[in-house]
Structure 1
Amino acid sequence: MSTAVDLDLVRYRATDDVLACQISGKQLRRLVRTTVGLSDESIELLTQLSERLRTAEGALPDPAMI
């Protein structure tokens, strides 16, 4: 199992964080930026939670996941 949080953000600054900053929606940008550096396991948990929230709100499943 990998570390819960990758504290070496230097390697992310050039890629993930730059891409996250380009998201136009303020709330979505904030959500994405808080995930930078999380472990693969944590990202998977967030994805599962998002799917459950979509179901609870009656939203259609993400077509990319079908």
Structure 2
Amino acid sequence: MDPDNLDRQSDHDTVLACQIMSMPLRRLVRHALGLSEESMDLLTAVTDRLRTAEGALADPATLGEW
């Protein structure tokens, strides 16, 4: 693995994160930069649960019930 390539990727991610207009979302993305894949999966799972709790996503527990 090329450490220089990792630095370029990190710099690119930081530039993109800074372009996000929503301050809370920008802050969340900047805090998430550099996390391991396992931590990113956990963060995604937590955000899915929060969105479900707020009614922004269908509740997987009730999917298919009509």
**TM-score where L is the length of structure 2:** 0.71
Task: Point out 4+ residue stretches in structure 1 off by more than 3 angstroms.
Answer: none
2:46 pairs with 1:33: no
Aligned length: 52
Which structure 2 residue ranges, 5 or more long, are not aligned? 1-5, 59-66
Deviations 1:18-60 (A, max 9, x none): 1000000001000000001100000000000000001111113
SS at match of 1:28: helix
Kindly name which structure, 1 or 2, has the bigger radius of gyration based on alpha carbons: 2
5+ long unaligned stretches in structure 1: 1-8, 62-66
Q: Which residue of 38, 41, 46 maps to 1:44?
A: 41
Q: CA RMSD in A?
A: 1.5
Percent identity, aligned pairs only?
Answer: 62
Cα distance in 2 for partners of 1:60, 1:37 equals 27
Aligned to 2:3: none
